[in-house]
Amino acid sequence: MLRTWVVLIFVLLFFVESASGQERLSTKNRAAIKYYEDARSHYGGGRPDNALEALYLAIEKDPDFIEAYLVLGDIYNGQSKHQQEMEVLIRAVEIDSTFFPMTLFNIGVAAVKSGNYSEGIDWLEKFKWQYSDQRNADRVKEWLERARFSLEAVGNAYEIELVSAGPGVNSDYDEYWPSITADEQTLVFTVLMPRNEQLYRERELPKSSLYFQEDFYYSQKGADGLWQERAFLPGSINTEGNEGAQTLSADGNWMFFTACGREDGRGSCDIYFSQWSGTGWSQPVNLGMPVNSPYWESQPTFSSDGKTLMFVSNRPGGRGGKDIWQATIQSINSDGVPLFGDLRNLGPNINTSKDENSPFIHHDNKTLYFSSDGWAGMGGMDLQFSRKMENGEWRQPVNLGFPINTPGDEIGLVINARGNRAYFSSDGREEGVTAKNIYMFKLPEPFRPDPVLYVKGRVYDIETGETLPADFELKDLASGDVIVTTQSNRFSGEFLVCLPVGGKYAFKADHPGYMFYSGHFDLHMGHSLDKPYQLDIGLQPVKAGAKMVLENIFFELDSYELRGESKIELDGLVDFLRTNPSVSILIGGHTDNLGHAAYNQSLSENRAKSVFSYLISGGVEASRLKFKGFGMNQPIADNETEEGRAKNRRTEITIL
């Protein structure tokens, strides 16, 4: 919103350009006018503190110099010192309430921004009934709604205890834009560093790119649960320019971040990509179209589904101001760089005619947190959250309330995989701390996403032990929907895949020339959130004698009729055979030791035959397939326990 004061200043400063203009000022005191002219010069030259000093000298010469109070109010507004802004504007109204009627409105807004909500409502109502007209009715209504919303939010405040990320992370400088991996073991953040440390210590410097630069740092969580001493992010990401507003993939292997004014930039600010090599971060790559445009793109967040990037842009075609957009990975090139397409605006349930920024999509892939000054809030940019509906659309957002939100601007909130802990950056939260620091707090229950577990490990050649990069796919067995598509680290083979709690999943890992890995996760009955899965996967080269168990083949009880959930695994096996046209397999059926041997032998053979028939119906030549029932004769686990018997009831393939 354009401040009325901006217009007012130019009018007032124009008045003092000539001797005739001096007669229009509310003072005849020449010394006061001289200080006022000095203030104008300082303010126009970007020296607001000098301007403040000159204006107070002008007021000392004439305490009723109303224009000086009005310009003081504008300077304090620009510095976000809204309590001081209120005080000087109230003094202006006391001198003459009719001199500039919009002052009443500006006092009301300043009161709301400083947290004086009841007082703000009084001033806004006073302006509404005395001076409001068709031109400003919408603005008055908007700020009255904000004030009343804020008053109610403070009255229903949540109990929140902010905990500093600790001395390993925070310093005398500004730390902000936290990003965490899904296992909550790595924290990456932006630090605003002085270019000249000695100059910074000697005098207060304006936080501009002339004196400061943004760089990335990281911290690892120690065995004691505390964040360890931070370190400069290794590799090629940090430069002498500014880098910031970053996001990590769930596994910490990919980073998307914002950089402005680079030679390969397409607009004022662009989004770049880098990947972890095992020893450092790779040379950043501009993501290009359609993510970047000739306009402003920033503040990315990458979903744990491994394919969806959300970001903020002021490009045309949105709802107005800055909007949240998303793009989806279409392919990955030979250098491991994702190529995006399917650009979409998140629509009217998220974006408004004003600004939305700092999106964070939780690892459950259906809860979005972001900041906005277009939805109901407490004065500035407020944190909101929205949940995705069954049809894929977003619900209208809900404000995170007080004291998460304050009269100031809140941005850059991220939530851990379990959904119970939030990280964000703020200033003024600790006595004696003036810089922005990173804090943690327990997220109130109403704002929590669905909890997410994860499986992590390493992929390797089972014969040589050498690292293998692998492609992963997690599918919901009930719907067949792909939940996650991702890759292990190209250099280390390490992977992390998020598992939303409450479902049954087929988990597949494959690498060309190897048997694919078939895994199964059943989380519909619940699983301890304190026990993520650790799984190292050894892949077997495709050769005669290689075996693998198909973990996601299911039959009806005491039957050889395939259940619907088996389709995911069977279709994957069809794809494997198409990719390896020279391969022939034996399909083996196995049972536990309950029941008669003859019955189990017959059941196992019929189950193997059902798989055989499905593969043929999928286009695999019968000459490449054999099937056999082994009954209960080849157990791979102890039949004395239900868990062991479940492992023995299996379908297995062997390369012939």
Q: Which fold has domain 451-541?
A: Immunoglobulin-like (2.60.40)
Q: The domain 544-656 is classified under which CATH number: 3.30.70.100, 3.30.70.980, 3.30.1330.60, 3.40.710.10?
A: 3.30.1330.60
Residue 9 confidence (pLDDT): 42
Does the pLDDT value for residue 3 go beyond 50?
no
Question: In whole angstroms, what is the distance from residue 290 CA to residue 340 CA?
Answer: 7
Residue 135 is predicted with a pLDDT of: 84
Output the six-digit token pair for 583: 């391969």
Question: Is the per-residue pLDDT at 17 higher than 70?
Answer: no
Q: What is the pLDDT of residue 20?
A: 36
Give me the mean pLDDT over the 636-641 stretch. 92
> 265: which 2 tokens?
């930039």
Question: Residue 541: beta bridge partners?
Answer: 514
Write the pLDDT tens digit of every residue in 419-472. Answer: 999 999 887 666 666 788 999 999 999 999 999 999 999 999 999 999 999 999
Q: Average pLDDT of the chain?
A: 91
Q: Which helix (H) or strand (E) holds 571?
A: helix 566-579
Give the lowest-confidence range in 180-189, 323-332, 528-537.
Answer: 528-537
- Which CATH number applies to 4-155? 1.25.40.10
- pLDDT (0 to 100) of residue 2: 35
Angle made by CA atoms 390, 370, 212, in degrees to the nearest 5: 150
Dihedral (CA of 372, 377, 381, 384) sign: negative
- Over range 18-32, report the average pLDDT: 71
Using one digit for the tens of pLDDT, what is the confidence trace for 494-551? 999 999 888 899 999 999 999 999 999 988 766 777 788 999 999 999 999 999 999 9
Specify the pLDDT at position 18.
35
Examine the pLDDT at 56 and tell me if it is beyond 60: yes
Whether the per-residue pLDDT at 189 is higher than 70: the answer is yes
* 147-169 average pLDDT score: 93
Which is nearest to 555 in space by CA: 636, 611, 601? 611
- Higher per-residue confidence, 1 vs 420: 420
Q: What is the enclosing helix (H) or strand (E) of 522?
A: strand 517-522
* pLDDT for the residue 19: 35
d(CA 341, CA 332): 12
- Is 60 exceeded by the pLDDT of residue 375? yes
By percentage, how much of the chain surpasses pLDDT 90? 76
Q: What are the backbone dihedrals phi and psi of residue 57, each rounded to the nearest 5 degrees, phi first?
A: -65, -35
Domain with CATH 2.60.40.1120 in the chain: 451-541
State the virtual CA torsion across 404, 407, 408, 409 in degrees, nearest 10.
Answer: 60
List where CATH 2.120.10.30 sits in the chain.
173-201+210-447
pLDDT in tens, 213-270: 899 999 999 999 999 999 999 998 998 888 999 999 999 999 999 999 898 999 889 9
Neighbours of 68 (CB within 10 A): 31
pLDDT exceeds 60 at position 148: yes
Question: Please, are residues 603 and 632 in contact by the beta-carbon 8 Å criterion?
Answer: no
> Which ranges in the chain are annotated with CATH 3.30.1330.60?
544-656
Dist CA 287 CA 278 (whole Å) = 22
Give the whole-angstrom CA distance, residue 559 versus residue 555.
Answer: 6
> Residue holding tokens 């089972």?
462
pLDDT (average), residues 66-94: 94
What is the per-residue pLDDT for 525?
A: 67
Distance, CA of 297 to CA of 122 (rounded, Å): 40
Which band of pLDDT confidence, cut at 50, 70 and 90, is reported for residue 184? very high
Mean pLDDT of 399-421: 91
CA distance 182 to 496: 8
For residues 146 and 133, what is the distance between their CA atoms, to the nearest angstrom? 19
Residue with tokens 């450092």: 280
- Per-residue pLDDT of 578-607, as tens digits, reads 999 999 999 999 999 999 999 999 999 999
Of 506, 504, 508, nearest to 488 (Cα)? 508
Q: pLDDT tens digits for 607-627? A: 999 999 999 999 999 999 999
Fold designation for 173-201+210-447: Neuraminidase (2.120.10)
**Alpha helices, DSSP H only, in 45-101?**
48-61, 66-78, 82-95
pLDDT of residue 21: 42
pLDDT score recorded for residue 431 = 67
The arithmetic mean of pLDDT across residues 486-491, rounded, is 91
**Residue from 393, 287, 400, 398 nearest 346 by CA:** 393
